[in-house]
Amino acid sequence: MGVEICVEGLTKSFGHQVIWQDVSLTLPAGEVSVMLGPSGTGKSVFLKTLVGLLRPDRGSVTVAGRDITRLREHELYEVRKLFGVLFQDGALFGSMNLYDNIAFPLREHTRKPEGEIRRIVLEKMDMVGLIGAEGKLPGEISGGMRKRAGLARALVLDPEIILFDEPDSGLDPVRVAYLNQLIVDLNAQIDATFLIVTHDIASARQVPDNIGLLFRRELVMFGPREQLLTSEEPVVRQFLNGRMQGPIGMAEEKDAAQVEQELAQLGEHHGSGEHTGTPGSQDLPPRLLPGPGITRPPRWQAIARREAEPRRREVTGA
Ligand SMILES: Nc1ncnc2c1ncn2[C@@H]1O[C@H](COP(=O)(O)OP(=O)(O)OP(=O)(O)O)[C@@H](O)[C@H]1O
Ligand SMILES: [Mg+2]
């Protein structure tokens, strides 16, 4: 069942620009984690570092017992077979039709006969609602369709680890709801380890087991969903409530005096539709559960395991 990813003391810069530093977290095997953070805080850079496409300055990323930051290119090639990745821009080959794009990892990494490849490709295309679009080129379809083609391609190798960079951006709300259900169902069926970067707070509140937040070059917090959703940490609260008042500004960080003033004002306006009062008073939205057709038990076991064991897991940065 899934593979744990253990990140320790990870730091990445480009030239003099430090993107984030000293990031440590464990993505538990078979669980769904979400990474949040304002635009430009390095979420995409983080995903690329986890698959070894970018090399960190310091720190380690241990996957299936191997530190991928120290692997050579041909060793990385092997470890990458464990991953299914949806990049933020979809990263489809522009001159290949959708069928060939989605078949690509199978042809590159396996020796499966074409008949078997066809079965898998059509199954995944069906799963993301793209049947009938096999012959289309990426330039001929909508942004949402490209996104779904990228999702299908990320799934063809039945990965142990699934990394999705904003799978929901460019999708309409109904498709986002389907996508969230698809993620939860997939996790129940294949029990892979998921890390999803998203800006969609509603999804972040319902789907994952764990939530992390990157801000100001640091991992502010990473831990079980319930702990982040009830956290009193100002950056975490501002982000998970999607509000303007707080330390996060439009273009830059705000100064401390302004933040304090805003938060004090918030405290006076209780009719604003969100909870600002006593600590831990936020509503905990119900977790999205696998659909009724999902009968295989691993996910249910995972939920039972987590609920039986009180939350002894560490919260980073709390
Ligand atoms: N290959 C690169 N070379 C130099 N700088 C880079 C490179 N890739 C990313 N950056 C810089 O790293 C920072 C973080 O970028 P990243 O794309 O990870 O942000 P993000 O959190 O994913 O933002 P968004 O939510 O808008 O997708 C940005 O300042 C970006 O310019
Ligand atoms: Mg990004």
Residue 280 is predicted with a pLDDT of 46
CA gap 99, 21 in Å, rounded: 40
Q: Is the CB of 40 under 6 A from ligand 1?
A: yes
DSSP character for 214?
A: E
Residue 276 is predicted with a pLDDT of 43
pLDDT in tens, the chain (318 residues): 678 999 999 999 999 999 999 999 999 998 999 999 888 899 999 999 999 999 999 999 999 889 999 999 888 988 888 999 998 877 899 999 999 999 999 998 889 999 999 999 999 998 888 999 999 999 998 888 888 899 899 999 889 999 999 988 878 888 888 889 888 888 888 778 999 999 888 888 899 999 999 988 999 899 998 888 888 888 888 888 777 767 777 666 666 666 676 666 666 544 444 444 444 445 688 888 887 776 655 555 566 656 665 555 567 665
Q: Is the CB of 39 under 6 A from ligand 1?
A: yes
Ligand 1, residue 45: give the atom nearest the CA. 18
Q: How far is the CA of 170 from the centre of ligand 2 (A)?
A: 13
Q: How far is the CA of 101 from the centre of ligand 2 (A)?
A: 22
Domain-wise residue ranges, the chain: 5-230+284-308
Q: How far is the CA of 66 from the centre of ligand 2 (A)?
A: 26
CA gap 111, 310 in Å, rounded: 45
Q: How does DSSP assign 29-83, residue by residue?
A: TT-EEEEE--TTSSHHHHHHHHTTSS--SEEEEEETTEEGGG--HHHHHHHGGGE
Class of domain 5-230+284-308: alpha beta
Q: How far is the CA of 241 from the centre of ligand 2 (A)?
A: 20
Query: Pick from 226, 233, 236, 223: which is nearest to 286 by CA?
Result: 226
